[in-house]
């Protein structure tokens, strides 16, 4: 992890998963009450508002084995977190 991408806040939480993706464009949807950062293989993806409170999404064209990580600022144990990945093309 480079210094530019390193977490610089206290109380953060990181959730990571490994997956094997069929070739296509994927929508990664995050539901969290706090600010978040989405990374695919250590590359930060842009997050967009969905128009619904607390829900953001990012897009990527992927194929094969990849690591997806969500870094959440100001995480508390009672907070809700949701993550979905959808192949859209």
Q: Name the domain count of the chain.
A: 1
Q: What is the pTM of this model?
A: 0.80
17, part of any domain: yes
Residues with Cβ within 8 Å of 30's Cβ and at least 6 positions away in sequence, in order, are 36, 38, 47, 55, 56, 57, 58, 70, 81, 82, 83
54, part of any domain: yes
Taken in order 55, 5, 41, 61, the sign of the CA dihedral is positive
67, part of any domain: yes
83, part of any domain: yes
| pLDDT, one tens digit for every residue, the chain (89 residues) | 444 445 445 567 889 999 999 999 999 999 988 888 999 999 999 999 999 988 999 999 999 999 999 998 887 777 788 999 999 98
Specify the CATH number for the domain of residue 58.
Answer: 2.60.120.260
- Partnered with residue 13 across adjacent β-strands are 72
The residue range of the domain holding 42 is 13-87
Contact 37, 44 (CB under 8 A): yes
For residue 21, give the H/E element and its range.
Answer: strand 13-31
2, part of any domain: no
7, part of any domain: no
């Amino acid at each position: 992890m480079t210094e530019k991408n390193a977490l610089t806040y206290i109380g953060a939480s990181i959730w990571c998963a490994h997956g094997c993706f069929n070739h296509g464009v994927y929508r990664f949807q995050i539901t969290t009450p706090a600010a978040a950062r989405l990374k695919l293989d250590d590359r930060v993806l842009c997050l967009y508002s969905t128009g619904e409170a607390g829900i953001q999404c990012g897009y990527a064209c992927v194929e094969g084995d990849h690591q997806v990580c969500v870094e959440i600022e100001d995480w508390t144990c009672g907070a809700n977190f949701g993550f979905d990945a959808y192949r859209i093309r």
